[in-house]
Amino acid sequence: MNGPTKATQDPTPFEKVVEFIDERVGLKTIQAKMLNEPVPGGSRWAYAFGSCLLFIFILQAVTGILLMFYYVPSTDHAYASTQYIIHEVDYGWFLLSYHFWGSSAMVVMAFAHMSQVFLWGAYKKPRELIWLVGLVLFGLVMGFGFTGYLLPWDQRAYWATVVGVEIMDKTPIAGDFLARFLKGGPTPGQMTLSRFFVIHVMVLPAALAGLAGLHIFLFRKAGPSGPFRGTPEEIKAKTDYFFPRQIWKDIVAMATVFLIVCSLAFIEPVVLLEKATPDPGDYHPEPEWYFLFLFQLLRLKIFGGQFGQFLGAIAIPGAFMALLAALPFIDKDPEKNIFKRPVALISWIVVMTGILIFTVSAIINREFLD
């Protein structure tokens, strides 16, 4: 009987590299830890929200880096370089449009994920830190949208930033300093663009990457939160492993998000308005759509005057975020079934309905003005 051939005995160069790295890093151990993680109660499509958020962020980073090869962050060249990306760079219009719609997709997915965690009661013990880190991550996602909106340096970007900075200026104590720091002068200009660019491409990505890693670590430590139905024995009997069922659901969900964002980029590509000027002309300043509800709220008569603007722009949103941060420490009830938590369910419906009504009202008002 012939023994094994030399080809089967000697590892390939690739296998040697993998073995070399595995000896020093422990790739096989990490792989086993990641793929063999138990999923109590079985895999769920609802568990894909977090993976989709991470996927969107990675593609936003990739498309952002590609755009930076052509973008010039100066008031003299930002608008022209963005136009160059759209009209001269091969598939530049698609890259920019994908990045634009990807930011909206990230906001939508963050809203959906936060709602899911709230409705499932997944913020309760022992997941308080996961919830708190998630709130900070949500704030960073909104920060990405706010800082990135200025970079094309057209009228829409310029005046949306003016509106946003004016709202920030109403914050007591630190508001005036933050507004002056971001503007870098009496009106938005080169210093404003430079600071927004640095925050958008360096500060926020570094913060989000670090906190996302912490968020995943804490989640892996605590494990999935449900919702679980049945006795502990039934839940244990339905336990899956992350690979292959859950990872398959994650891949399908990420592919769906990718196709939706690509479709939006093709159907509604980015079109710039005129270059930014301190004179709005016929343009009616307003922020991006995910800030429209707050913008419309501030138009109500009860929020007129300096105190009213502070109340609507800072005090109410700040109190709401403080309440969300305190929620795990206030809500001690171990019950997680949303249908047995009527106050939580009604509160979520009221908040989401209010945001929807104010957003739609702002859009209708814009169409009327146009």
Rounded Cα gap, residues 59 and 131, in angstroms: 24
Parent domain of 45: 39-288
C-beta of residue 366 within 8 angstroms of C-beta of residue 284: yes
* 258 found inside a domain: yes
Among candidate residues 239, 195, 207, the one with its CA nearest the CA of residue 43:
239
For residue 110, the number of C-alpha atoms closer than 13 Å in the C-beta half-sphere is 26
Phi, psi of 275 (to 5 degrees): -60, 145
* 23 found inside a domain: no
* 79 found inside a domain: yes
Cβ burial, residue 155 (10 Å; 0-12/13-18/19+): buried
* 54 found inside a domain: yes
Q: Element (H or E) spanning 240, and its range?
A: strand 240-241
pLDDT tens digits in sequence order for the chain, 370 residues long: 555 555 556 888 887 888 888 788 777 777 766 667 777 767 788 888 989 999 999 999 999 999 999 999 999 999 999 999 999 999 999 999 999 999 999 999 999 999 999 998 989 988 999 999 999 999 999 999 989 989 999 998 898 888 888 777 777 777 778 888 888 877 788 999 999 999 999 999 999 999 999 998 898 888 777 666 655 666 666 677 777 888 899 999 999 999 999 999 999 999 998 998 887 777 777 778 888 888 888 888 777 777 777 788 788 888 999 999 999 999 988 888 888 899 999 999 999 999 999 999 888 877 655 5
Domain count, the chain: 1
- pTM for the full predicted model: 0.86
Rounded Cα gap, residues 155 and 283, in angstroms: 8
* 249 found inside a domain: yes
* 204 found inside a domain: yes
Give the DSSP letter string of 164-219.
Answer: HHHHHHTSTTTHHHHHHHHH-SSSS-HHHHHHHHHIIIIIHHHHHHHHHHHHHHHH
Give the number of other CB atoms < 10 A from CB of residue 332.
8
* 68 found inside a domain: yes
Rounded Cα gap, residues 63 and 102, in angstroms: 10
For residue 58, give the 3-state DSSP assignment.
Answer: helix
- The enclosing domain of 195 has a CATH number of 1.20.810.10
Rounded Cα gap, residues 368 and 98, in angstroms: 29
* 313 found inside a domain: no
